[in-house]
Amino acid sequence: MNQDKKKAIIRVLIAKPGLDGHDRGAKVVAHALRDAGMEVVYTGLHQSIESIVQAALQEAVDAIGLSIMSGAHLPICKKLKKLMAEKGLEDKLVLVGGVIPKRDIPALKALGIDGVFPGGTPFSVPIEFIKTNVK
């Protein structure tokens, strides 16, 4: 085994799907992930599901994190997971954060969302989740 071989850096795409115009939380999370040693690609506001999946393909990320404040997390996640399956991205970790009512967490998990982090979740929680679960 080569001792000089470096551990691969985890690459995370942070995206703001739909018409949600608030991105402070996404930017703060991106900063926290970078501070934890991850490489972060931030797509900016008003992204379509298609553009998010395309960016994930182009950037060869390990995880996709969606920041959703609009309340449309269920249809957005359903569409995202469907398109990811069509593009062969089933091995990517998918995380959702933002305004997520607790009652919707089981439905998001049933759609195949790996981690759900409602507003107020300490940064250490999604950071550790990503480090533990990225394949």
Give tens-digit pLDDT for 99-112: 999 999 999 999 99
pLDDT at residue 2 is higher than 60: no
CATH number of the domain at 11-133, please?
3.40.50.280
> The tokens of 62 are what?
């390990």
Average pLDDT over residues 28-40: 97
Starting at the earlier edge strand, list the strands of the sheet with 11-15: 39-42, 11-15, 63-68, 93-98, 115-118
pTM of the shown model: 0.92
Reduced to 3 states (helix: H, G, I; strand: E, B; else coil), residue 4 is: coil
Which H, E and C letters describe 117-131, residue by residue?
EECCCCCHHHHHHHH
Domain spans of the chain? 11-133
